[in-house]
Structure 1
Amino acid sequence: MSYDDDEVRWEVMTAFVRLGLAQGEKVMLFPDPWLPEAEVLARLDFTGRSTVTARERGQLVLSSMRGLIRPDLRFTPERQIGRLHSETSRAADEGFTGLRAFIDMRWVPDLNADVRVMMHRETHADALFDGRPYSEICAYDRRWFGREVLHAMDRAHPRSLLDRLGTLQSVRGADGSVRFIGDADARARHAFTTALELALSGTCGVRRLTVDLTRLHLLSAGCAGALIGLADQAEDHDLVEIRCDHVQARTLHRLGAGAVRRLTTTEVVRPC
């Protein structure tokens, strides 16, 4: 993830931590090294003291990159990856279902590390995840890292998070398809409809469009209805295929998708 708003960082970090604790995982936090520990704990426990018990039993651990690579003083990918590998095994031995880590990349200027060495680590860390119960978020403050680094890291990671929780993103495929990610709720209806109109306009020549909804967390009735209406009006298309999960398919059919001859729904398993 990348951010230039501290509230975004807190939102994502808190959600990531609480999901991990709920799933019985051990969670390690490597926050911005310039943040006081008391502020991090206060943010995690906002509206209550929900993480106190997890900290007491060792399920939630606040650490730092300096602490992780100790006794080494200089960062090397091998040292960091080796320690995270060991921590994953340790979490399993302690009875947790896995390990997840939230790493704020502000440790790079804190350790005066070479950005190129850090980027090499980010693109050569597959062994941490292969066959192992480990997950990780790397959080880049856009106020500290250059555009080239951010672009390279966005391409290097298998998943990039949205800028904020509850937002909508549309991605066009090379074949003209459109994939929606996030929440297609009432607030996002205009953006959702606009993206569909552009996708339909761009695929007139091939007369077919694939709309992928499988990475949506929410599909409102309003957005679903707009999709059906646009498909019904798309006379220059022979087929509009909607890839969706079971709940989305049920919503679409209840709103009349079955009456649109050029529209078809394909149910698929939601990707992890």
Structure 2
Amino acid sequence: MDAWRLGDHLSLTYASEHECRDLMVAFARHGVGAGHRVVMFLDAGSVELARALTAAVPDARVGQFSVLRFGTGFGGLGFGGHDMLDSLDALREEALADGFAGICVADEMTWTRTAGLRDDDLLGYETRVARFFGDGRVAALCLYDRRRFAKDLLARLGATHPAPLLRFTIGGWGAHLRLAGELDASNGAALPAILALLAVSDSVVLVDASELVFVDAAGAGTLVRFAASRPTRHTVVRCGRGVRQALRLVGADDVPSLVLRDQVARV
């Protein structure tokens, strides 16, 4: 768990309670050690896991660490499925107001079964929540029990989580997407959902790919098709030579609404 950082939206699977506990404990300790706010979302029945997580971070200062269980509470706190997106937004703003540089959220996703979410509901939730984790001040770990979720569903859910190779941030003027890392077959399936968050914008979309060190043909094609889908509004992509070449190889020069610019220099 040492590879993650703020901006990540990770998905991992497990096959035993011991494995789940170790992953969540490592995430909690890392977040607390880095000085971030840490929140753990668990299923209603995960009482022992909640206790283990709380005991694992004895050095957490007041208000830094919370364990929440679906529908009920541990220490008087709980959450419900219908308002998760609003709850996440509120937690982020609260953490920033309290002086934390970031917030780390670990989500043991069995609660979605207790909440009655169907497979399509769950996929929709993971897609919509991408905007929250595109903040750049948030890190997330979604844990799925391989005994409770079908293999094909896990594969589809994994495609909504681009980290750790690809990191993205959404914000700035108009619609601004920043991509960093590598975009390849391991994470490219997440890109359409990320771009869909910007598709509703009536202004210019800026994609800052200055820190994107690699993009394969499929990923480049996704970016070009996105620009082509907005023929009356420009999509500006700032990128280095390698990414620019990949975009041109898959037809960037044939899309009038796609504008390629030199990458932003990093000091």
Normalised by the size of structure 1, how large is the TM-score? 0.50
SS in 2 for 1:108: helix
Residue 57 of structure 2 corresponds to 51
Residue 196 of structure 2 corresponds to none
Amino acid at match of 2:69: S
Map 1:2-17 → 2, pairs under 5 A: 2-17=13-28
Q: Quote how far apart the aligned CAs of 1:71 are.
A: 10
Amino acid at match of 2:51: L
SS in 1 for 2:95: helix
Is 2:48 aligned against 1:42? no
Larger helix fraction of residues: 1
Q: Quote how far apart the aligned CAs of 1:65 are.
A: 3.6
Q: Quote how far apart the aligned CAs of 1:25 are.
A: 0.5
CA distance in 1, matches of 2:79, 2:57: 30
Residue 116 of structure 2 corresponds to 112
Name segments (4+ residues, structure 1) moved above 4 Å: 70-73
Question: Structure 1's 2 and 129: CA in aligned 2 closer, same or farther, altered over 3 A?
Answer: same
Question: Structure 1's 132 and 86: CA in aligned 2 closer, same or farther, altered over 3 A?
Answer: farther
Q: Does the Cα contact within 8 Å between 1:154 and 1:160 map onto a contact in 2?
A: no
Gaps of 5+ in 2: 1-11, 166-183, 186-213, 215-267
Normalised by the size of structure 2, how large is the TM-score? 0.51
Q: CA RMSD in A?
A: 2.9
Q: Quote how far apart the aligned CAs of 1:99 are.
A: 0.8
Q: Quote how far apart the aligned CAs of 1:95 are.
A: 1.2
SS in 2 for 1:145: coil
Map 1:192-271 → 2, pairs under 5 A: none
Cα displacement string for residues 140-184 of structure 1 (whole angstroms, at most 9, x for unaligned residues): 0010011121010112211379xxxxxxxxxxx88xxxxxxxxxx
Question: Structure 1's 96 and 3: CA in aligned 2 closer, same or farther, altered over 3 A?
Answer: same
Question: Structure 1's 72 and 94: CA in aligned 2 closer, same or farther, altered over 3 A?
Answer: closer
SS in 2 for 1:156: coil
Residue 124 of structure 1 corresponds to 128
Give 2:93's match in structure 1, choosing from 63, 77, 89: 89
Q: Does the Cα contact within 8 Å between 1:26 and 1:96 map onto a contact in 2?
A: yes
Question: Structure 1's 67 and 115: CA in aligned 2 closer, same or farther, altered over 3 A?
Answer: farther
Larger strand fraction of residues: 2
Amino acid at match of 1:103: D
Question: Identity over the aligned pairs, expressed in percent?
Answer: 23
Question: Structure 1's 145 and 118: CA in aligned 2 closer, same or farther, altered over 3 A?
Answer: same
SS in 2 for 1:97: coil
Give 1:18's match in structure 2, choosing from 29, 40, 52: 29
CA distance in 2, matches of 1:43, 1:91: 19
In our comparison, the structure showing a higher alpha carbon Rg is: 1
CA distance in 2, matches of 1:126, 1:116: 16
SS in 1 for 2:139: strand
Give 1:148's match in structure 2, choosing from 131, 147, 152: 152
Question: Aligned residue pairs: how many?
Answer: 154
CA distance in 1, matches of 2:26, 2:92: 21
Amino acid at match of 1:59: Q
Instruction: Tell me which of the two structures has the higher relative contact order, counting C-alpha pairs closer than 8 angstroms and 6 or more residues apart.
Output: 2
Gaps of 5+ in 1: 162-172, 175-211, 213-272
Residue 240 of structure 1 corresponds to none
CA distance in 1, matches of 2:78, 2:20: 29
Q: Quote how far apart the aligned CAs of 1:124 are.
A: 2.3
Amino acid at match of 1:16: F
